[in-house]
Amino acid sequence: MLFGRFGGAIAKLTEDIADGDAIALMLLGMVMEINSAIIQLTSEQRVRKYI
């Protein structure tokens, strides 16, 4: 899915909202997913430094 897990879930919850709002929420979901991926990567790098 193009918009990722968060975006897809948010879009399903807001199908009755206007398309513009749904797209904005999908983009927000993408940003949330990217942020969580970055947090995972940086924490893995910190762990590797100590090993």
pLDDT of residue 1: 42
- The end-to-end CA distance of the chain, in Å, is 36
**How deeply is 12 buried, as exposed, middle or buried, from its count of CB atoms within 10 A (0-12, 13-18, 19+)?**
exposed
**9, 26 contact by CB (below 8 A):** no
pLDDT of residue 6: 67
Q: pTM of the predicted model, to two decimals?
A: 0.45
**5, 36 contact by CB (below 8 A):** no
In tens, the pLDDT along 1-51 reads 455 666 666 666 666 566 667 778 788 888 888 888 888 888 888 777 766
- In 3-state terms, what secondary structure has residue 17? coil
pLDDT of residue 45: 80
CA 7 to chain CA centroid, nearest Å: 6
